Amino acid sequence: MSQQAGTPGQTSGTASAAASAATGAAGAAASAPRASAKPLSEAYDVALLDLDGVVYVGGNAIPGAGQALRKASEEGMRLAYVTNNANRTPAAVAEILTGFGVAATAEDVVTSAQAAARLLAERLPPGAPVLVVGGMGLRVAVRERGLRPVSTAAERPAAVVQGYNPGISYPLLAEGGRAVAAGALFVGTNADRTLPSAHGPQPGNGALLQVITYATGQQPLVAGKPEPPLHEESVARTGARHPLVVGDRLDTDIEAAQRVDADSLLVLTGVTGPAEAVLAPAHQRPTYVAEGLSGLTEPQPEVGSGPGGFLCGGWTARWTDGGELDLSGQGNRIDGLRALCAAAWSRDGVTPDAVSRALKTLADSAS
């Protein structure tokens, strides 16, 4: 049987042995999506929410996201918006959220630009020049940490920091490359290979970082998810005691939560789909799975296990004698996915072919 959520897992450095014993170590490799008798908005004090693919896509609000966030807030959950996108300032992000009907201020937003600036400030003296390869959000974050943003290698920067900006230019990348080649510390706000858009995935900052990396042979220090600095910055700014990381990507949001022993909720409104969730490697498995942000305000059902397979809602997932995963039953698609995840995560080396038939059954149920 999966474990019921009592006291949620605490963030790294604050978890007690008693809490870990009661609920299982937060962030440990999941063998099945966990259950919670309480809505997650009551079980956790702060939601650390990703933005792209969770609240909006390409500047357009995801249907139902605003309503779910307002309800979670009304039920006592504090909301913080934690994004790997370093282009916008926190104030600009808050303005977008307010336009969606979500009450937010700049203090509610934590960006990878802020985490990168903190990382730099921990390594450089006050007032040190930093060549910023990115947008205004990154320049403001660097300045707020007492460092001096510059734009050319001729100013002998102590570091180069690069963050996503859709208008990034070759001349600025070239300046960054020259500075790194001359010995400047190289920092990336995040290493996302892609980011979601209304037209599908497009190259993210991780792809753009490769320009300077390939030219200089230097790998950057990375501040954003899944690396710990952004989570540490988020916890420091919110004072979260029992945070829940909410995201749409296994390789950033969910892996980041596991690295810092935090619980996580995967939503299916962005990059990750059912197939990726079922095939998730152990270090990228979420604590909970939901269709969207409405999962914050709902209890999480238990996934039962027994000789007949793994059961959730009206669905049963079981392994056949031929080594294929089979799904039968009916009900909410997300319950079928929870059962499939439990079955797939119970074995090592599961292949796409082994789960393809079950995933088709799941897809057909939603059509």
The CATH class of 4-84+227-297 is alpha beta
Handedness of CA 306, 308, 311, 314 (dihedral sign): negative
Please tell me which residue in 45, 50, 248, 326 is annotated as part of the active site. Answer: 50
DSSP 3-state assignment of 66? helix
* DSSP β-bridge partners for residue 151: none
Question: How large is the average pLDDT for residues 90-118?
Answer: 93
Strand order through the sheet with 263-267: 109-111, 78-83, 46-49, 243-247, 263-267, 288-290
Helix (H) or strand (E) holding 247: strand 243-247
- pLDDT value of position 197: 76
Is cis: bond before 286, omega within 30 of 0? no
Count of helix runs (H) and strand runs (E) in the chain: 13, 21
119-157 pLDDT, tens digit per residue, is 999 999 999 999 999 999 999 999 999 999 999 999 999
- Could you give the CA distance from residue 12 to residue 50 in angstroms, rounded to a whole number? 19
Beta pairing class for 194-195 and 202-203: antiparallel
Residue whose entry in the numeric block shows the structure tokens 């913080």: 80
Question: How large is the average pLDDT for residues 86-107?
Answer: 91
- pLDDT value of position 29: 56
Going from the C-alpha of 95 to that of each of 88, 101, 103, 106, 340, the distances in angstroms are: 11, 10, 9, 8, 39
Assess contact for 80 and 55: CB atoms under 8 A. Answer: no
Which residue, 334, 255, 262, is CA-closest to 295?
A: 334
Residue 1, C-beta contacts closer than 8 angstroms, at least 6 positions apart = 302, 303, 304, 305
Model confidence band, residue 102 (pLDDT cutoffs 50, 70, 90): confident
Residue 50 bears catalytic tag: yes
Question: How large is the average pLDDT for residues 303-312?
Answer: 93
Q: Is the per-residue pLDDT at 17 higher than 80?
A: no
The upper half-sphere exposure of residue 179, i.e. CA atoms within 13 Å in the direction of its Cβ, equals 29
Q: What is the pTM of this model?
A: 0.85
264: phi then psi, degrees, rounded to nearest 5: -145, 155
216-254 pLDDT, tens digit per residue, is 999 999 999 999 999 999 999 999 999 999 999 999 999
| 15 Ramachandran zone, left/alpha/beta (phi>0; psi -120 to 50) | beta
Residue 248 bears catalytic tag: no
Residue ranges of the chain assigned to CATH 3.40.50.1000: 4-84+227-297, 112-222
Please tell me which residue in 52, 108, 192, 248 is annotated as part of the active site. Answer: 52
DSSP label at 191?
Answer: -
The CATH class of 112-222 is alpha beta
